[in-house]
Amino acid sequence: MPTPTPHSRRAFVKGSLLASAALPLAVAAGSPAPPRPASTAASATLPRGRIGRLAVSRLLLGGNLLTHYAHSRDLRYVYSLTRHYNTRDKIFQTLALAEAHGINTLVIHTAEGVLEMLGEYRSKQGGKIQWIICPTAPLETGLREYREQVSRMVADGVDAIYIWGVRSDALVQEGRTHLIAEAVSFAKSLGVPCGVGAHQLAVVAACEERQVPADFYIKTLHHQNYPTAKLNFDSNWCPDPEAVVETMEAVKKPWIAFKTMAAGAIPPQSAFQYAVESGADFVLAGMFDFEIAEDVQLMNQTLANCQKRIRSWTA
């Protein structure tokens, strides 16, 4: 694919927004989005790409809803609702359903009890889903706590590690990108792929400039065509998607796009299309069990119908 000029990149982004606006026109006008139809049978397979030694489904299951952390603007009851719905048994059902529909990888952080729960799912429930997990230990000089936590995670069977975006954002702002590089190198020394998470685009730029040996990036991406985008209240994780698309075009490492639905504000069809056409190699999506079949079907349709990508597949 020929390298687009800056003008064509911006034209692409604007064109994608117009194309994806067909469904959310009512949303842009302030009306609620149309309800999702009842889930239909989805293909039991998803195309896969590679991250290091791992074969990873193009759609990954996000862990926020499973750890009961839902970005919900000022709707305070949603956290409690999610916690009451996603019980341990329901989480096991959700993981099994994801696997049955071709999602073979979970991305989650080390909330209390997560590793124990995943270990039980794998050892007692026969689960095969891969784990990409971010440690929450601080990244400080010497990395003592981080090294201990990552070593335990590898012993427990984690398939890949990534640096938590909250940590990466802060370290780059503080001028301590070298700690990200050290953390990545340590995880890789234990034989697992390691990536870098980021909300801020400056993290990717800093890691690329310093040649941090990350195997992949987990970077936010979503368009701005939804009513709460400008509220600046737990509602916007990608304020300049054009800049993200332009920067990531030059990055030759696998890119997992997350927050693609802006925490439920953007319909999945629009979100997936925008992410794939913008160059993401994988889409990470938080899903309740009743959303999985439809979302897999939509992702398969998106991949099959993708006619334009600014960025070559890197995974």
Q: What is the CATH number of the domain that holds 253?
A: 3.20.20.100
Domain of residue 147, residue span: 45-305
Closest CA to 215 of 139, 166, 163: 163
Q: Is residue 34 part of a domain?
A: no
Q: Is residue 252 part of a domain?
A: yes
Going by the DSSP 8-state scheme, the letter that residue 130 receives in this structure is E
Q: Is residue 16 part of a domain?
A: no
Number of domains in the chain: 1
Judged by average pLDDT, the poorest of 29-33, 101-105, 144-148, 268-272 is: 29-33
Q: Which residues fall within 8 angstroms of residue 183, CB to CB, at 6 or more apart?
A: 139, 143, 146, 163, 194
pLDDT higher than 90, residue 266: yes
Looking at per-residue pLDDT, the higher value among 68 and 149 belongs to 149
Range 170-175 contact pairs with CB under 8 angstroms and sequence separation of 24 or more: 171/139, 172/200, 172/202, 172/203, 172/206, 173/200, 173/202
CA distance 217 to 240: 18
Going by the DSSP 8-state scheme, the letter that residue 227 receives in this structure is G
CB distance 255 to 219 below 8 Å: yes
pLDDT higher than 60, residue 34: no
pLDDT of residue 33: 37
Torsion of CA 80, 83, 85, 90, to 10 degrees: 180
pLDDT of residue 44: 65
Judged by average pLDDT, the poorest of 71-75, 81-85, 165-169 is: 71-75
Q: How far apart are the first and last CA of the chain?
A: 16
* Over residues 305-313, mean pLDDT: 93
Q: Is residue 4 part of a domain?
A: no
pTM of the model: 0.87
Closest CA to 260 of 300, 295, 221, 310: 221
pLDDT higher than 60, residue 16: no
Structure tokens at 188: 């890789």
Q: Is residue 38 part of a domain?
A: no
Judged by average pLDDT, the poorest of 111-115, 170-174, 258-262, 283-287 is: 111-115
CA distance 158 to 289: 23
Judged by average pLDDT, the poorest of 25-34, 43-52, 113-122 is: 25-34
User: What are phi and psi for residue 57, nearest 5 degrees?
Assistant: -65, 145
Helix (H), strand (E) counts: the chain: 12, 10
pLDDT band at 73 (very low <50, low <70, confident <90, very high): confident
Q: Is residue 300 part of a domain?
A: yes
pLDDT of residue 3: 42
CB distance 165 to 199 below 8 Å: yes
pLDDT higher than 90, residue 42: no
Torsion of CA 143, 149, 151, 155, to 10 degrees: -170
Q: Is residue 13 part of a domain?
A: no
Q: Is residue 32 part of a domain?
A: no
pLDDT band at 70 (very low <50, low <70, confident <90, very high): confident
